[in-house]
Amino acid sequence: MALRSADKTATDRVLLNIDQGIATVTLNRPDKLNGLDMPMFDAITRVAKTLKKERQVRAIVMHGSGDAFCSGLDVKTVSKNPVNFLRLLVKPGRKISNLAQDVGYLWRDVPAPVIAVTHGYCFGGGFQIALGADFRFSTPGCEFSIMESKWGLIPDMSLAVTLRELITIDLAKELTMTARQFTGDEARTMGLVSRVCDDPLAEAYKFAQELAARSPDAVAASKLLFNRTWSAPDKVALDWETRLQRRIIGRSNQRIAVTRNTTDPDRAFEDRRNL
């Protein structure tokens, strides 16, 4: 699937392919270990917004081309123009996130589940992009780091939202303040990645196919339920349960799910409803 853009560089930075309901998002700047320059920020944001609207997409696999998932911000390139930092950090109107945060945070708004596949390096902004996914599959030796403090900065690409759902506050502070590197195996022990495997991309596609075999309405509603309630008060969480159940119960895909479990296991689901 080609994305239209006046800037061909931006469309080359991230590749999007949709095949039988599974979207593949490829960070595509391998000569720079998929480091984030401004066209990369624009391209990731554009792809996330595109996939939010694609109702036929059942699952998304996001990975990096070449030797790394993403080595983080390409400081040298971005800093050539000081206006770039203003553009990354400005938050226009009523937007909840700015451009820097969009590349991680917007994946939470995509109804289909997102699986980030990490290998090589997953540093700084790259790690925050992976944290925005619903699942993270990693090689054992992938190197991770919340690297911003090394440069006298703090993480500012939505980690304040996504990291707190995975680990305790003291560990979050340690990893952020020290910028220490850790492997995929250690990341799994800490709860930062979902699975560690020798071929995480193959495992991610296998998992995506499993997700694609379920009602797209139920899968999308499950994602929305947990994203809205994980840190919410009991009343808010219970209200969301009821609200979302009312949106899917008795609808076509819910009826098809019953049929698939009783009389016709091969019946195809319809495209996802707007929840």
User: How many beta carbons lie within 10 A of that of residue 156, not counting itself?
Assistant: 16
Output the pLDDT for position 93: 82
**Residue 109 vs residues 73, 96, 147, 220: alpha-carbon distances, Å:** 23, 12, 26, 10
Query: pLDDT per position in the chain (275 positions), as tens?
Result: 444 444 445 569 999 999 999 999 999 999 999 999 999 999 999 999 999 999 999 999 999 999 999 999 999 999 999 999 999 999 888 889 999 999 999 999 999 999 999 999 999 999 999 999 999 999 999 999 999 999 999 999 999 999 999 999 999 999 999 999 999 999 999 999 999 999 999 999 999 999 999 999 999 999 999 999 999 999 999 999 999 999 999 999 999 999 999 999 999 999 999 88
Output the pLDDT for position 259: 97
Provide the pairing of β-strand 22-27 with 14-19. Answer: antiparallel
What spatial distance separates the first Cα and last Cα of the chain, rounded to whole Å?
24
**Type of residue found at 189:** T
- Burial pattern 220-237, b for ≥16 Cβ within 10 A else e, equals bbbbbbeebbeeeeeeee
| Residue 237 DSSP label | H
Q: Residue 275 is encoded by which pair of tokens?
A: 């929840």
DSSP bridge pairs for 115: 61, 135
Q: Measured between alpha carbons, how far is 24 from 92 in angstroms, rounded to an integer?
A: 30
Q: What pTM, to 2 d.p., does this model score?
A: 0.94
Output the pLDDT for position 10: 56
